[in-house]
Structure 1
């Protein structure tokens, strides 16, 4: 299994690998038991089914990077998701469409980290003088130095230790849940679907698998690209098994009391505080990855200097970041803070993002690109399956966005706690 992950180290794609890993098995799995609360066994089925679909669409997306030459050999003629979009949607709008979706996903991921910090801190200090929004703002202020980042070499190393820390925390939570096995609420897992809440659960699950935007670079930097299929198969199998078990066992342990962030269910205040504070530290250390990627995307799109872009370059001739450019980066941090304190409902927000960018990037676009670029060579069964996934993407997206937005409005109207 591990031989499939033969990826070269210390490459510029560290950012892409780290983002991909975070989506496949990152911090946001703490909401999967909450998804089971509203979806029951159907949520567990969805964790497996969506993993299968995302694995398939990841493979066909990378397939769209290649074309056959006159000798029948596959040649990599495109380098990125953006390159594929330009080929399908046109040079003028293709890149802009994908960049917009990617920027939304990256910024919303940053916002989710801040909202998660607020939920964890208020769970640790429920009777403290500081509310959840204030915790989010304080955590955001701590992250303002991210504006000074010039490269991700050190952040990539921190990301590695973040992953190790998170695995330890997952083991602790699993151990606690298994220790509570005699009290598991087997009868509480539903077979029916909560029509209003299940689409939010679906959005959470889709978001947890969204890593397609990074797959082309990940595949390009593999030592042996022929093992990409093996790698993506095993990674999604492992993710599906782990997420299904985590969501199911977490819900069995706390049943109807399951909260949006599962660690807030831990009964011992000291133990809960210990776990939550470690997760807060991990969230803060994870924030620079999507933040830096968002700033890099903004820079490439708007700040490369004329005539390439409308605005001048971020960088002075001596290689230093200009003062006004630093201000732009600080504004990005402040923007994520303001949105976090404006929409402080973690699970609903994650469901909304998954229903929007998740379905577009992981369901609809890969299949549409596949049909447009490879349609002449596909069997009718492959064509039918691509259209089926596109249909599912639109179905999940429309219903998920509608119900998530309705849930957000309702949460603000009735004053649900943050």
Structure 2
């Protein structure tokens, strides 16, 4: 009996080992098939419509060897995106917006923080146990998840190009607005100043890499920061002549529409917040950083705007430096800022060029059109013509819309509204509405409604200015 039990135990042990080996073999085969299917699926995704959108081969989602940013460095990037040169328009924004302009600045700043946080949340998937894993790293990824590859990639690319194009026009117009008052009696007029200044920008079409001109970026930021301090010091030197009573308490709907579009234009950072989050060091809290930088930006814009109006009153111009009555100081600022704009014009310009080149002109085996580089890695003649045409288009838009305030208002009310209000809320509701509380859903719908109102205000101001007043 003992022998029988021992034999039975040995048989059971052998059967158990054979079962384990069989299960392991099947598991390896299943993993192999899974990997094969996953690889095949990835290849299909990467090759599908590559002739239309370009390959994903060069698109880096996370580079483990890439040096990560600290919270302070990321905050600096956010401040540059939402502060920038539009602070020079802050006094004019509050002049046409009045007290409602202050309220709108605070409200838009809050909504910008909220939608940035929504986009950060859209990067993660949550399992049944509540564990979160980051599966999307850019706004492209989020758009593809919600809209599909074709529509998602195309939509974000178009918005990027439109926003960068608007920035290029903004830089050139600002240069014209500052240079023209220095030579009011010139025979060329404002359009002539734009054309003359644009001649210096055409050589950018011949530059293959932004590295050749990017070394001036840091210096321009430092000089600009010192210039802001100089402007505030000048305005406070006039404190005994401040005209606080000229600050408008009310405004009309047309001026509010213009003011709202300009405010939205100054807070567009949603396109880049996901990429910035992927470059942060572990342990960094991007949501808190976004909140702090936006609060600082809102306070600085309101402060700068109020001080500008108190100093110059109803005479406040679109570009605050044109109000300076000390001639040498006015010449200093109105030459320094155009020089700075000239140096940073290249960045949005090359962003457009690189995006179009990557999507359309990498080569017939990768994209729809042939490569724009020849065998010697030089630009082909037709590629140079296309780049020159881009600069020419920027100049033409400047001549059609020579008003900085109106241009920034139109851009903010259209592209800015989609980027800041409509798309983040739609993506977030589409992905998580089943898990959200009713009051969070209601809050998102209010933001969505605010975006629709911004678009309506942009259309209203455009019709009022460009159609009704010219009839």
Q: Which residue of 2 aligns with 1:13?
A: none
For residue 92 of structure 1, give the secondary structure of its aligned residue in structure 2.
helix
Could you list the per-position Cα deviations for residues 317-370 of structure 1 after superposition, in whole angstroms to 9, with x for gaps in the alignment? 443333322221121111111211221111111111000111110111111111
Q: Which residue of 2 aligns with 1:118?
A: 176
**Which among 147, 150, 161 is matched to residue 103 of structure 1?**
161
Q: Which residue of 1 aligns with 2:371?
A: 313
Alignment root-mean-square deviation, CA: 2.2
**Which among 159, 183, 199 is matched to residue 141 of structure 1?**
199
Could you list the per-position Cα deviations for residues 184-234 of structure 1 after superposition, in whole angstroms to 9, with x for gaps in the alignment? 221222222221111101111110111111111111111236321122111
Q: Which residue of 1 aligns with 2:240?
A: 182
Q: Which residue of 2 aligns with 1:247?
A: 305
Separation in structure 2 between the aligned mates of residue 110 and residue 303 of structure 1, nearest angstrom: 22
**Which among 340, 343, 353 is matched to residue 401 of structure 2?**
343
**CA deviation after TM superposition for structure 1 residue 157, in Å:** 3.3
1:192 partnered with 2:250: yes
Could you list the per-position Cα deviations for residues 48-102 of structure 1 after superposition, in whole angstroms to 9, with x for gaps in the alignment? 2211110111111122122135764432222321221122122221221221122
**Which among 189, 193, 202 is matched to residue 131 of structure 1?**
189
Does structure 2 conserve the Cα–Cα contact (< 8 Å) formed by 1:169 and 1:275? yes
Separation in structure 2 between the aligned mates of residue 56 and residue 157 of structure 1, nearest angstrom: 34
Separation in structure 2 between the aligned mates of residue 257 and residue 36 of structure 1, nearest angstrom: 13
1:5 partnered with 2:63: no
**CA deviation after TM superposition for structure 1 residue 121, in Å:** 0.6
Provide structure 1 residue ranges, at least 5 long, that are not aligned to the other structure. 9-16
**CA deviation after TM superposition for structure 1 residue 396, in Å:** 1.3
**CA deviation after TM superposition for structure 1 residue 171, in Å:** 0.9
TM-score (norm 2): 0.81
Q: How has the CA–CA distance of structure 1 residues 225 and 176 changed in structure 2, closer, same or farther, with 3 Å as cutoff?
A: same
Q: How has the CA–CA distance of structure 1 residues 62 and 113 changed in structure 2, closer, same or farther, with 3 Å as cutoff?
A: same
Q: After superposition, where does 1:148-297 map in structure 2 within 5 Å?
A: 148-224=206-282, 226-297=284-355
Does structure 2 conserve the Cα–Cα contact (< 8 Å) formed by 1:80 and 1:217? yes
1:29 partnered with 2:96: no
**Which among 380, 388, 393 is matched to residue 322 of structure 1?**
380
For residue 226 of structure 1, give the secondary structure of its aligned residue in structure 2.
coil
Separation in structure 2 between the aligned mates of residue 118 and residue 105 of structure 1, nearest angstrom: 20
For residue 67 of structure 1, give the secondary structure of its aligned residue in structure 2.
strand
Does structure 2 conserve the Cα–Cα contact (< 8 Å) formed by 1:349 and 1:404? no
Q: Which residue of 1 aligns with 2:443?
A: 385
TM-score (norm 1): 0.90
Q: Which residue of 2 aligns with 1:14?
A: none
Count, aligned residues: 403
Q: Which residue of 2 aligns with 1:84?
A: 142
1:66 partnered with 2:124: yes
**CA deviation after TM superposition for structure 1 residue 7, in Å:** 4.7
**CA deviation after TM superposition for structure 1 residue 399, in Å:** 1.2
Separation in structure 2 between the aligned mates of residue 133 and residue 358 of structure 1, nearest angstrom: 27
For residue 125 of structure 2, give the secondary structure of its aligned residue in structure 1.
strand
Separation in structure 1 between the aligned mates of residue 283 and residue 202 of structure 2, nearest angstrom: 38
Does structure 1 conserve the Cα–Cα contact (< 8 Å) formed by 2:79 and 2:297? no
Does structure 2 conserve the Cα–Cα contact (< 8 Å) formed by 1:23 and 1:209? yes
Separation in structure 2 between the aligned mates of residue 273 and residue 83 of structure 1, nearest angstrom: 47
Separation in structure 2 between the aligned mates of residue 400 and residue 359 of structure 1, nearest angstrom: 9
For residue 410 of structure 2, give the secondary structure of its aligned residue in structure 1.
helix
Separation in structure 1 between the aligned mates of residue 161 and residue 262 of structure 2, nearest angstrom: 19
Separation in structure 1 between the aligned mates of residue 448 and residue 387 of structure 2, nearest angstrom: 36
Larger Rg: 2
